[in-house]
Amino acid sequence: MQVTKQVSKEIQWQSLAIVIALTVAYFGLLQLTEPASGRIFAAIPPPRGAPDIWWNALQRLVPIGLCDLIAALLPLWLYLAWRRRAWRDLGFSKAGTALAWILVLAVQAAICWFQLRNPYGPLAHVKNPLNPYALAGAAFAGIAASLAEETFFRGFIMDELMRGGFSTAWQIVVSMLLFGSVHLSFASLDWTVPVLTGLLGGFWSVIYILGRRSLWPSIVAHCINDALLVPSFFYFMVSHGLR
pLDDT tens digit string along 52-106?
A: 888 888 888 888 888 899 999 999 999 999 999 989 889 998 899 999 999 999 9
Provide the domain count of the chain.
1
Q: What pTM does this model have? A: 0.88
Give the whole-angstrom CA distance, residue 74 versus residue 68.
Answer: 10
- pLDDT lower than 50: segments of the chain: 1-4, 7
CA 234, 154, 112 angle in degrees (round to 5)?
40
Residue 22's domain comprises 2-239
Q: How far is CA 141 from CA 19, 30, 59, 90, 93, in A?
A: 25, 16, 12, 22, 24
pLDDT at 220: 93
Name all contacts of 119-122 with Cβ < 8 Å and 24+ positions apart: 121/232, 122/229, 122/232, 122/233, 122/235, 122/236
**pLDDT attached to residue 4:** 46
pLDDT, residue 174, reads: 95
Give pLDDT, residue 97. 95
| Residue-level pLDDT at 182 | 83
Angle at 161 between CA 160 and CA 165, to 5 degrees: 120
Contact at 8 Å (CB) between 208 and 158?
yes
